[in-house]
Amino acid sequence: MRLFFVSLIAGTLAPAALAADIQVSFSDKFQQELEDNYGPREGERLADDIRDDLEHELSKANINPARVSVTIVNAKPNRPTQQQMSDEPGLDMLRSKSIGGMDLTGTAYDDAGNPIGELQYDWFETSIDNVHASGVWGDANRASRRFARKFADSLSN
* Alpha-carbon span 75 to 72, nearest angstrom: 7
Give the pLDDT confidence of 10-19 residue by residue, as tens digits.
444 444 455 5
Percent of the chain with pLDDT over 70: 87
Q: Say which amino acid occupies 125.
A: E
| Identity of the amino acid at 33 | E
Topology of domain 19-156, CATH: Rossmann fold (3.40.50)
Mean pLDDT of the chain: 89
For CA atoms 49, 71, 157, 64, the dihedral sign is negative
pLDDT given for residue 102 in this prediction? 98
pLDDT score of 133: 62
62-78 pLDDT, tens per residue?
999 999 999 999 999 99
Strands of the chain (E only): list them: 21-26, 67-76, 101-109, 115-124
Domain layout of the chain by residue ranges: 19-156
Q: Which residues of the chain have pLDDT under 70?
A: 1-19, 133-134
